[in-house]
Structure 1
Amino acid sequence: MSELTAKRTAVKQALHALFLVFRIGSERYALQAIEVAEVLPRLPLKPIAHAPHWVAGVFAWRGAVVPVIDLSALTFGTPAQARTSTRLVLVLYRPDDNAKAQLLGLILEQATDTLRCNPAEFQPYGLDNRQAPYLGPVREDAQGLLQWVRVADLLDERVRALLFPTPPLDLALLGERP
């Protein structure tokens, strides 16, 4: 292979990104793999009282308590099916570029495939979907449409305050009840 061909191949590879592909019902969705910290099997969760129905609960992971949302319940109101391919995917949630990344768990069905493609292949789908700002552009391939889920847009301010209070709760204050 010539040096020029090697450089062209390197540039072409740089234009491609890796995505984790999953399903909600029969529809395909994707998360950019750079936002994924780890893919785990589905684990038991502790429910959070008075949380929205799509907040599945919390679990302890490597010394941290991680909130988990069920993306199927958030998107279509129906909890993810308990399949052997249903995964608990830890993502790096950062609502804006200035915020520190925090772990957020997502329950995702059939989260077993990856796709490498140019992110520019995803195109707007022509709807102003303010109720689901995390549902990004779509990409067409031989299997149909694939929709990009943007992690940064998953939680509105109210749910973000519930799952990631700022400042974090001070446990010492809980013991100072009159």
Structure 2
Amino acid sequence: MSELLAKRAASAQTRDSLFLVFRIGSERYALEAVEIAEVLPCLQLKGIAHAPAWVAGVFAHRGAMVPVIDVSAMTFGQPAVARTSTRLVLVHYRPGPDAADYRLGLILEQATDTLRCNPQDFQPYGLDNRQAPYLGPVLEDAQGLVQRIRLKDLLSPEIRALLFPDAAEAP
């Protein structure tokens, strides 16, 4: 019996996960599908005064206000290009292991592809990018490199306090 449990545990550790692949310029990035609540077309947003330029605004979704950030503008200072493939992706943002689950909108360019792979196949790329801790490890495939986005590291404590005031206490 314990041999069967060991085999199940081993296979659970090596299971592939599904990732949504998007682009910032010519570079590819991946967001794990289990972190995604919903994929929407781009919508009209209400701006947030005195927020960083990459905070695109807020919109009402099912009775709640959802803040939205432009990941391209946040990462490289250039707003996402308005294309038919640019999406507003709602994610489950959880700033800490015991924190509440918040809805956060991400504007992602060319968010139309998926990738199925083992999350452990992503490897560190050798740089300590403290200005962008959300840029995680990379994976090489037939199309080149794809970099994983670490959603929990996406927002600094200051931005988290601005967008989710009741989450300001989370680590």
TM-score by length of 1: 0.87
Q: Which residue of 2 aligns with 1:34?
A: 34
Unaligned ranges ≥5, structure 1: 1-6, 169-178
In the other structure, the counterpart of 1:174 is none
Deviation at 1:166, TM superposition (A): 1.9
Specify every segment of 5 or more residues in structure 2 that has no aligned partner in the other structure, as ranges: 1-6
Quote the residue 2:151 is aligned against: 151
Kindly indicate whether the alpha-carbon contact (under 8 Å) linking 2:160 and 2:167 is maintained by their aligned counterparts in 1: no
Deviations 1:27-51 (A, max 9, x none): 0000000000000000000000100
Distance 1:165 1:11 in 2: 40
1:77-125: CA deviation from partner (whole Å, max 9, x where unpaired): 0000000000000000001110011000000000011111001110000
C-alpha separation in 2, matches of 1:89 and 1:96: 20
How far apart in 1 are the matches of 2:59 and 2:89? Answer: 12
Secondary structure of the residue that 1:66 maps to in structure 2?
A: strand
Give runs of aligned pairs for residues 1-178 of structure 1, distance below 5 A: 11=11, 15-166=15-166
Q: Secondary structure at the match of 2:165?
A: coil
TM-score (norm: length of structure 2): 0.90
Identical residues among aligned pairs (%): 74
Which protein shows a greater Rg? 1
**Alpha-carbon distance between aligned partners in 2 of 1:76 and 1:99, rounded to the nearest angstrom:** 29
| C-alpha RMSD over aligned residues | 2.0
